[in-house]
Amino acid sequence: MPLQLSAEAKRKIDAAVARYPNPQAACLPALHVVQGEVGHLSDEAIQAVAEHLGLPVAHVFGVVTFYTMFRRDKVGRNVTVLRVCTNVSCMLRGAYEVLQRLELRLGVKRGQTTPDGAFTLVEEECLAACANAPMMICGTDYHLDLTPEKVERILDDLRRQPRPERVD
């Protein structure tokens, strides 16, 4: 049985569909909406998105498993995941310098979580924003045209935000 999308999720997905000439193009935003609401993308959530968009389940599953910003398993909600793209466009425009600054500032290497449990740093292969490389995703926020200096400001802003309670 597929997951029942909330009225708010349906509204957001429909707004995304309206921006594109083809519902297939709205798959990424729809998945972000559902993951934001549910916390991860189970088989039932994938089926619900596919049905709502009128797409084959296999297509939606392929999108979910290609892009690493989508989670198939439940995770706690108190960690902000910093996903830094290092694919070709981002790499050529300074992604490794951005990644080095994050490692230095956070005191962790890619794949690790800070000792306070606030941030996990992840190197990603592709985050689908090549025109604004280098980029990273913090939670669900895209940060584009990054420099090491911009990363400093982003981390300062993130540190000032209240931390949600842990949900296991």
Q: What is the pLDDT of residues 14-30, one digit of tens each?
A: 999 999 888 899 999 99
Helix (H, G, I), strand (E, B) or coil at 52: helix
Helix (H, G, I), strand (E, B) or coil at 93: coil
Nearest to 138 by CA among 158, 124, 160: 158
> Cα(16)–Cα(28) distance, rounded to whole angstroms?
9
> Cα(42)–Cα(57) distance, rounded to whole angstroms?
12
> pLDDT confidence of 80, banded at 50, 70, 90?
confident
Residues 15-69 pLDDT 10s: 999 998 888 999 999 999 998 888 789 999 999 999 999 999 999 999 998 887 7
Residues 119-128 pLDDT 10s: 888 898 888 8
Which H helix or E strand runs over 141? Answer: strand 141-143
Domains, in order of start, for the chain: 7-66 (1.10.10), 80-160 (3.40.30.10)
